[in-house]
């Protein structure tokens, strides 16, 4: 399963999302998520959390934490006033996020919104990402900062996996996509998300890209790339993984 704009806004402690643009430019990256693949350390930690969660369930001691409220900042970076994103649109997206994630124990409080005109920052392909973030980022390590740019090639957005050293980039409630490794790899290390060979599109009911593995593709999951109208859920395992990453990487930071 892949990051979508809504899922990304949850997942990224510093996430970059494509904003509406009036211009069309050559596509430089594949459709979807521009996040890097998880490294060996992240895979190890995910597998460790999976074992801990399974052990707690088996012992009957597993419980989902109370709702976590995440302070959130939106940063709209644009080339001119013509490609700005209005606060009403941003507030509507935040409301959609909160509705989607309410059953899973996370809510987001918008603490502020910035609007910046900077042609270099607005084009993600120019390499000004970290300069932009250092200038605009607000809050602590447990704060969600989301950056909206008009030019991201054909990507919907990206974020980074958490760093054990407490760096400024990473994932607030990290759940990674099940396409990692395809039908035979370790996937997302969440036991109740079926293996998936590639991201879905549209709303392909009955899609089974890994017929040798159990279960159909999770096209209704927020981490796939189906239509918004197709999204319905996270799994219980993903909810547990959100809590594990939050408690170990973000809470109290």
Domain membership flag for residue 220 = no
Give the mean pLDDT of the chain: 79
Model pTM score: 0.79
Q: Determine the 3-state secondary structure of 18 from DSSP.
A: strand
Q: Is pLDDT at 172 greater than 60 in this prediction?
A: no
pLDDT at 19: 61
- In the numeric block, which tokens belong to residue 113? 């919104």
Domain membership flag for residue 163 = yes
Domain membership flag for residue 243 = yes
Find out whether 119 and 81 touch, Cβ atoms under 8 Å: no
What's the burial of 70, exposed, middle or buried (CB within 10 Å: 0-12/13-18/19+)?
buried
Q: What mean pLDDT is predicted for residues 104-125?
A: 93
pLDDT at 33: 63
Find out whether 43 and 203 touch, Cβ atoms under 8 Å: no
Domain membership flag for residue 32 = yes
Dihedral angle computed from the Cα positions of residues 146, 152, 154 and 160, in that order, rounded to the nearest 10 degrees: -50
What are the φ and ψ backbone dihedral angles of 132, each rounded to 5 degrees? Answer: -60, -50
- In the numeric block, which tokens belong to residue 54? 């399974």
CA-based max dimension of the chain: 57
pLDDT at 16: 62
- Point out the least confidently predicted range of 10-14, 21-25, 199-203: 21-25
pLDDT at 127: 86
- Point out the least confidently predicted range of 157-161, 206-210, 226-230, 236-240: 157-161
- Point out the least confidently predicted range of 51-60, 75-84, 131-140: 51-60
Q: Is pLDDT at 101 greater than 70 in this prediction?
A: yes
Alpha-carbon distance of 233 to 20, in angstroms, equals 25
Count: domains in the chain: 1
Q: Is pLDDT at 39 greater than 50 in this prediction?
A: yes
Q: Is pLDDT at 206 greater than 90 in this prediction?
A: yes
Report the percent of the chain where pLDDT is more than 90.
31
Name the packing angle between helices 236-245 and 40-59 (round to 10°): 120
Q: What mean pLDDT is predicted for residues 147-168?
A: 68
List the domain range (segments joined by +) for residue 125: 5-175+236-250
Domain membership flag for residue 164 = yes
Q: What mean pLDDT is predicted for residues 102-111?
A: 93
pLDDT at 10: 45
Q: What mean pLDDT is predicted for residues 223-242?
A: 86
Domain membership flag for residue 203 = no
Alpha-carbon distance of 161 to 171, in angstroms, equals 5
pLDDT at 32: 58
Domain membership flag for residue 214 = no
Report the percent of the chain where pLDDT is more than 70.
76
Q: What mean pLDDT is predicted for residues 84-98?
A: 91
Alpha-carbon distance of 18 to 33, in angstroms, equals 10
Alpha-carbon distance of 170 to 174, in angstroms, equals 8
Helix, strand, coil shares of the chain, percent, nearest 5, are 30, 20, 50
Domain membership flag for residue 73 = yes
HSE (side-chain half, CA atoms, 13 Å) at 39: 7
- Point out the least confidently predicted range of 30-39, 92-101, 150-159, 189-198: 30-39
**What are the helix (H) ranges across the chain?**
5-11, 40-59, 87-101, 119-122, 129-136, 236-245
Strands 68-78, 106-117: pairing kind: parallel
């Amino acid at each position: 399963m892949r990051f979508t704009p809504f899922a990304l806004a949850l997942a990224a402690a510093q996430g970059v999302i494509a904003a509406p643009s009036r211009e069309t430019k050559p596509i430089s990256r594949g459709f979807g998520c521009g996040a890097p693949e998880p490294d060996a350390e992240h895979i190890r930690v995910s597998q460790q959390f999976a074992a801990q969660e399974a052990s707690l369930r088996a012992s009957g001691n597993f419980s989902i934490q109370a709702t976590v409220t995440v302070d959130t900042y939106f940063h709209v970076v644009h080339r001119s006033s013509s490609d700005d994103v209005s606060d009403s649109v941003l507030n509507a997206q935040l409301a959609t996020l909160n509705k989607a994630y309410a059953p899973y124990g996370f809510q987001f409080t918008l603490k502020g919104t910035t609007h910046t005109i900077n042609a270099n920052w607005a084009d993600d392909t120019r390499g000004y990402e970290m300069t932009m973030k250092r200038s605009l980022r607000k809050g602590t390590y447990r704060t969600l900062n989301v950056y909206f740019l008009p030019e991201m090639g054909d990507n919907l957005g990206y974020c980074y996996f958490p760093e054990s050293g407490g760096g400024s980039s990473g994932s607030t409630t990290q759940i990674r996509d099940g396409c990692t490794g395809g039908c035979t790899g370790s996937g997302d290390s969440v036991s109740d998300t079926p293996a998936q060979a590639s991201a879905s599109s549209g709303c392909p009911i009955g899609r089974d890209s890994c017929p040798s593995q159990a279960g159909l593709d999770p096209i209704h999951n927020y981490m796939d790339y189906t239509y918004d109208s197709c999204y319905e859920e996270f799994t219980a395992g993903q909810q547990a993984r959100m809590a594990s990453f939050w408690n170990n990487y973000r809470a109290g930071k």
